Structure 1
Amino acid sequence: MWLDLAVSDLESLSREELIALARRQDAQITLLATRLADVSERLEQALKRLAELEYLLSRNSGNSSVPPSKDDGLGRTPPCKERRAKPSGRAKGKQPGAPGTALRWREEDELDDRQDRYPEGACGCGADLGAAADLGVVDRYQQHEIPLVSVSVVQYDQHAVACGGCGRVHTAARPEGAGAGRVEYGPNLRAYAVYLLVVHFVPVRRVVDILTSLTGARPSVGFVHSLLRRAARALQACDFAIRTLITLAFTVCADETPLKVGPATPAEGKKEAKGYLHVACTELYTHFLLGDRSMKTFRQTILQDLEPGAIAVHDRYQAYDSTQLGDLNHQLCLAHVLRDLTSAAQLYPDEHWPVQLADELRELIHRASQARTRGETSLPQRIKSIAVRGLRAAIRIGLAATAHLDDARPGARKSRLLLEAFHQREDDFLRFTTDLRIPPTSNQAERDLRPSKIQENISGRLTHPGRAKDRYLIHGVLSTAVKHTVNPLTVLRDAFTGTTWLPPAARA
């Protein structure tokens, strides 16, 4: 190598040799510079990728929309415990005065059965205890028990009779829930099967095993799966009524979540084979729509049919703000905002604005809850003004602190966009303070969507889109029934017998 040449060796070279050596050195320097630039670029990409991976691993239920079930995943950072101003001093468990659920002693007229029990066998002296003198009741015990269930086969013989007056023939109708076949399972068993499928996310084959163990009946896998379609058809009128009632609501919580549905191979032009489950709900009604995240699906949701001026409570996904959904007012979900502010506080540990902004929002939510409990309709203006001043000051500080255009750290752009949204849409973040009927979060929608993720974790992909739509039509009806304290099994059984349950309209 030319680097090993001593100065004396260079002095002995001719002009032509020095020129050739310089050219070789230039070529080697160019090659090394190219390699160094390539290594530097790869290192920069690796560092960027490492920062992205560290950011993703730092996501948890406290600073993002990651569900709590994934907080203990490999390499993940668990969420920090919430700060408390001071210990509450309250013991864990049931609080004094809270309603309990213990079994109570039933009076005589409430009993289903009563049995007198006497000692049996022989006394130590050899006398038969059956002839002993009765000294009265010395112990009483009540037991709540369910009967052992065993499938029973009943044959219904429908007779025809001829009228004695005119001779017209009349034929007895089949029992409620009977189909056209000669042999089939009754509405009770069908209701249990759909209940296990939809409410408890039990896979079809396990539903068959459960029914066999509990009742002795062994329906086929195909029959159990077909019940989804039959139940959905029977509940279509209820689903339509729920959708109509939600369109009349003053506030509607909306959300959507990805769902593995349909073929596992992505469609042309798509990176992933998945759909989106949309929910629109209130405290009394739940309605699901299975589609994608396109504007076409959003136009099919209930939001487009809401009354002018209705309040849509949602996260900041851009589709909710489209004018194609009509003239809506918005309440942006503050639960999402607080998680984003937790993330911002971790990204900017030396800045005070994320904590100040979060504290002011929590205080507003707390004050609104107290005012609602007192029966007030809006938050007192004095309290709101104090909090808004703090919010605006934190936003100004945050905008100044995040004005660096070269901050390419993961999460920096998201924090900046949150501050800009707060600055531009303050009314949409604080609309709940003007009317306490408006919830500050879309937690109701997240609660209604959460079972779909549980189902996905248990059973995986729903390969048939049609049956998936049937599943969530049924789930919306049963969720609404539970919100009205109606037994979902009763709703399913009535549907299979031709009686459709309809939810009552909410009081204004």
Structure 2
Amino acid sequence: MSGLEELSREELIALTRALMAENAALKAEVAQLRERVAKLERLVSRNSGNSGMPPSADDLPGRKKPKDRTAGSTGRRRPGKQPGAEGKALAWSDDIADGAIINHYPQGPCGCGADLALAADLGVTAAHQQIEIPLVVARRVQHNLHTLACRCGAVHTAPRPAGVNAAPVSLGVNLQAWCVYLLVVHAIPVHRCAELVASLTGATPSPGFVHGLIGRAAAAVAAANARIRMLLTLAYVVSCDETPVRVGPKKTGKYLLVACTELLTWYMLGGRDLATFKRFVLAEVTGVVVHDRYQNYDAADLGTRDHQLCVAHLIRDLEDCAETYPEARWPRQLQMALRGLIHAANLAREQGGDAIAAGTLAMFTKMFRGGVAVGLSEVKRVPGPAKTVTQPVGRVLLEVLRDRADDVLRFAHDLRIPPTNNQAERDLRPAKTQQKISGRLRSERHARHRYAIRGYLSTAMKHGLDVMTVLRDALLGRLWMPPGPATA
């Protein structure tokens, strides 16, 4: 800097102090920028393999995709049919309806000039069965209600058949059931549903009529949903999860919560706050709750019960630790222990056993506890208040694995408990599909109606029932009710 030799000692000291202060400010700014870049890099690195993000988010711009893993190694199963899974194929059947056997004969002239219609039949040399449906065409049915006069003078009028509306002209219950099925099960938007029904059948329901069917169907299945909720409170194991849904005005949103078993499904629309969880079925559940470690599932206001933390979520969180600490062995060791216990539990169930082999259980449990101890020794806790101090990646997870080991490994000691809340995630997947297809639902009331119907139909399908039959019967007032705990 020119002219420094002309400055006095006091001026040089003042200039030096100013430069030192500026340098300290720049260092602080650089530190903040580095921390911000690290947070952004970590945010971009989140995917379905190392966090709870759905696989559909892996294709977002700038998103780091999960590592490609081969089947049988440390990670993902390959798509499609899994090894050992039961295959399905179209089977030959001798049960053919009358008139459904069509004989085909060669036609035209032979090379010699003779007509093949006069040739000798040598029998069937090849047969092909094809499963087909008839063309669906709506037909108009007129119901004439006659009135009779008895000899005594009394007059009797025939009642309207079940499902026949009081209006002079209406759509039949079969068409109503199809509309509700397309709206709720396949998330077809209202206008497209009306167009689809018109294209397939020739009937032309109005969008308003189609939309109104959701409320009517929800009222028809209300009693069954109340019973499903009651049965969940008595279940030995209940899986729970929640997902955001777009409902109502654009600036508002809700959460869809699900409580379910292998045979029951119940939805509730609300928030992700403690007040919603108090209204949720959890406050009355007496069995084990399988969940993803969201804090409200452990709230003291909901009472005391046993928990099973979703092991799939833990394995993904450990994948994040493995990527953050590539030289560390404890993340892979913990993943190996948890996967080993899941495999052992599945194998024991398949073989009809009631417990994992004692040696296998002891081996993987020791591997699990050892991995936790090593991880805690390598990832040190940063002292200070939790609200102001950010802990290193994996520290909080390791403390959960240490302090809640019983809730992590409960499935390994009781084969009736699933290791993951995959059942709840499967039951929430239709809501995520609906968001992609139809977008925002217009009102909370219709959203509640939609998922009341969905919960009823999901429960019926889990019991092996035909969804169209139970839906049609519900609209006719013949509501199917799920069986009690003795048979469920």
For the criterion TM > 0.5, the same-fold answer is: yes
State the aligned residue count.
481
Tell me the residue number matched to 1:54: 41
Whether the aligned pair in 1 keeps the contact of 2:233 and 2:285 (CA below 8 Å) is yes
Task: Give the Å deviation of 1:41.
Answer: 4.2
Alpha-carbon distance between aligned partners in 2 of 1:173 and 1:461, rounded to the nearest angstrom: 42
Task: Give the Å deviation of 1:102.
Answer: 3.0
Matches within 5 A, 1:237-276: 237-265=223-251, 273-276=252-255
| Residues 209 and 64 of structure 1, relative CA distance in 2, 3 Å threshold | same
Out of 29, 32, 40, the residue aligned to residue 45 of structure 1 is 32
Structure 1 window deviating more from structure 2 (132-141 vs 472-481): it is 132-141
Task: Give the Å deviation of 1:388.
Answer: 2.1
Alpha-carbon distance between aligned partners in 2 of 1:77 and 1:175, rounded to the nearest angstrom: 60
| Greater C-alpha radius of gyration | 1
Task: Give the Å deviation of 1:464.
Answer: 0.8
| Residues 71 and 333 of structure 1, relative CA distance in 2, 3 Å threshold | same
Q: Percent identity?
A: 47
Out of 138, 159, 168, the residue aligned to residue 173 of structure 1 is 159
Structure 1 window deviating more from structure 2 (349-358 vs 106-115): it is 106-115
Matches within 5 A, 1:486-501: 486-501=465-480
Deviations, residues 376-428 of structure 1 (Å, cap 9, x unaligned): 223344332222222222111111111152899x9954511111112111111
Alpha-carbon distance between aligned partners in 2 of 1:463 and 1:234, rounded to the nearest angstrom: 22
* Alignment partner of 1:458 is 2:445: no
Deviations, residues 270-310 of structure 1 (Å, cap 9, x unaligned): xxx22111111111111111100111211122221223xx1
- Secondary structure of 1:210's aligned partner: helix
| Residues 188 and 338 of structure 1, relative CA distance in 2, 3 Å threshold | same
Alpha-carbon distance between aligned partners in 2 of 1:182 and 1:291, rounded to the nearest angstrom: 40
| Residues 118 and 418 of structure 1, relative CA distance in 2, 3 Å threshold | same
Deviations, residues 182-225 of structure 1 (Å, cap 9, x unaligned): 22111111111111111111111211221121112222211111
Out of 338, 358, 364, the residue aligned to residue 387 of structure 1 is 364
Out of 200, 204, 215, the residue aligned to residue 214 of structure 1 is 200
Tell me the residue number matched to 1:152: 139
Tell me the residue number matched to 1:105: 92
Out of 120, 140, 151, the residue aligned to residue 127 of structure 2 is 140
Alpha-carbon distance between aligned partners in 2 of 1:416 and 1:212, rounded to the nearest angstrom: 59
Alpha-carbon distance between aligned partners in 2 of 1:83 and 1:323, rounded to the nearest angstrom: 43
Alpha-carbon distance between aligned partners in 1 of 2:290 and 2:136, rounded to the nearest angstrom: 46
| Residues 119 and 418 of structure 1, relative CA distance in 2, 3 Å threshold | same
1:144 maps to a residue whose letter is I
Tell me the residue number matched to 1:426: 405
Whether the aligned pair in 2 keeps the contact of 1:344 and 1:411 (CA below 8 Å) is no
Matches within 5 A, 1:185-224: 185-224=171-210
Task: Give the Å deviation of 1:28.
Answer: 6.4
Alpha-carbon distance between aligned partners in 2 of 1:430 and 1:67, rounded to the nearest angstrom: 25
- Secondary structure of 2:255's aligned partner: strand
Alpha-carbon distance between aligned partners in 1 of 2:458 and 2:434, rounded to the nearest angstrom: 15
| Residues 421 and 112 of structure 1, relative CA distance in 2, 3 Å threshold | farther
**RMSD of equivalent CA atoms:** 3.0
Q: TM-score, normalised by structure 2?
A: 0.89
Structure 1: 5+ residue stretches without partners:
11-17, 266-272
Out of 295, 299, 319, the residue aligned to residue 342 of structure 1 is 319
Task: Give the Å deviation of 1:120.
Answer: 5.2
Whether the aligned pair in 2 keeps the contact of 1:255 and 1:278 (CA below 8 Å) is yes
Alpha-carbon distance between aligned partners in 2 of 1:419 and 1:81, rounded to the nearest angstrom: 26
| Residues 35 and 208 of structure 1, relative CA distance in 2, 3 Å threshold | farther
- Secondary structure of 1:377's aligned partner: coil
Alpha-carbon distance between aligned partners in 2 of 1:283 and 1:347, rounded to the nearest angstrom: 36
Whether the aligned pair in 2 keeps the contact of 1:178 and 1:497 (CA below 8 Å) is no
| Residues 85 and 180 of structure 1, relative CA distance in 2, 3 Å threshold | closer
Q: TM-score, normalised by structure 1?
A: 0.86
Tell me the residue number matched to 2:276: 297
Alpha-carbon distance between aligned partners in 2 of 1:66 and 1:91, rounded to the nearest angstrom: 19
Tell me the residue number matched to 1:4: 2
Alpha-carbon distance between aligned partners in 2 of 1:468 and 1:135, rounded to the nearest angstrom: 64
Deviations, residues 2-50 of structure 1 (Å, cap 9, x unaligned): x32274xx3xxxxxxx66x965x77766766665555444433332222
Alpha-carbon distance between aligned partners in 1 of 2:88 and 2:382, rounded to the nearest angstrom: 58
Out of 42, 61, 69, the residue aligned to residue 74 of structure 1 is 61
Alpha-carbon distance between aligned partners in 2 of 1:288 and 1:414, rounded to the nearest angstrom: 34
1:369 maps to a residue whose letter is N
2:41 maps to a residue whose letter is E
| Residues 455 and 135 of structure 1, relative CA distance in 2, 3 Å threshold | same
Task: Give the Å deviation of 1:143.
Answer: 2.7
Task: Give the Å deviation of 1:432.
Answer: 1.1
- Secondary structure of 1:257's aligned partner: strand
- Secondary structure of 2:67's aligned partner: coil
- Secondary structure of 1:280's aligned partner: strand
Alpha-carbon distance between aligned partners in 2 of 1:31 and 1:98, rounded to the nearest angstrom: 73
1:260 maps to a residue whose letter is R
